Amino acid sequence: MPVTRVLVIDDSLTIRGILDTIVGGQADLKIVGLASNVQQAKDLMQDRDPDVITLDLALPDVDGMSYLEELSHGPHAPVVVVSSSTQSKSEKANAALKAGAFACFDKARLVQDAPRFLKVLHKAADARRKELEELKAA
């Protein structure tokens, strides 16, 4: 199984640290970038080629929902929204899913539900690999 490359976009240093610890502790996952805003993320994406992106919705300058909608205009790694405003079946979670997010995860449950969060990352990466294989075969 290849190593899944994860780009984290969150303005909270604490959350970036938690995600770095949770993801970085896995042999089959690797953090390839930690961005505190959309511009940093765009710069990192140019040469890091992530398999999965985690995205907070409350970001300075360009908010996460706007960036998610921007990403939807072209091919990109699957986005797992990690936000305190995306509790299960919330309005924001539904809007993020409609805008193209692969999944939403409640930021407040990252530590408590770390195994479930890791499964979501793996599913997103698997979906991306399958999509790329289908494109190659076409």
pLDDT band at 1 (very low <50, low <70, confident <90, very high): low
The fold of the 4-137 domain, in CATH, is Rossmann fold (3.40.50)
Token reading at 4 = 């899944």
Token reading at 103 = 């999944």
Q: Pick 133 or 17 by higher pLDDT.
A: 17
Name the pTM for this structure: 0.91
Of 76, 75, 24, 27, whose CA–CA distance to 55 is shortest?
76
Size of the chain, expressed as the number of residues it contains? 138
Write down the pLDDT at residue 29: 96
Write down the pLDDT at residue 89: 74
Residue pair 87/57 in contact by the 8 Å Cβ criterion = no
Write down the pLDDT at residue 2: 83
Token reading at 137 = 């075969």
pLDDT at 73 over 90: no
Number of Cβ within a 10 Å radius of residue 17: 14
Q: Determine the Cα–Cα distance for residues 106 and 46; give it in Å rounded to an integer.
A: 28
Write down the pLDDT at residue 92: 86
Q: What residue type is 85 in one-letter code? A: S
33 DSSP 8-state letter: E
pLDDT above 90 coverage of the chain, percent: 67
**Summary mean pLDDT of the chain:** 90
pLDDT at 36 over 70: yes
**What order do you get walking across the sheet with 52-55 strand by strand?**
29-35, 4-9, 52-55, 79-83, 103-106
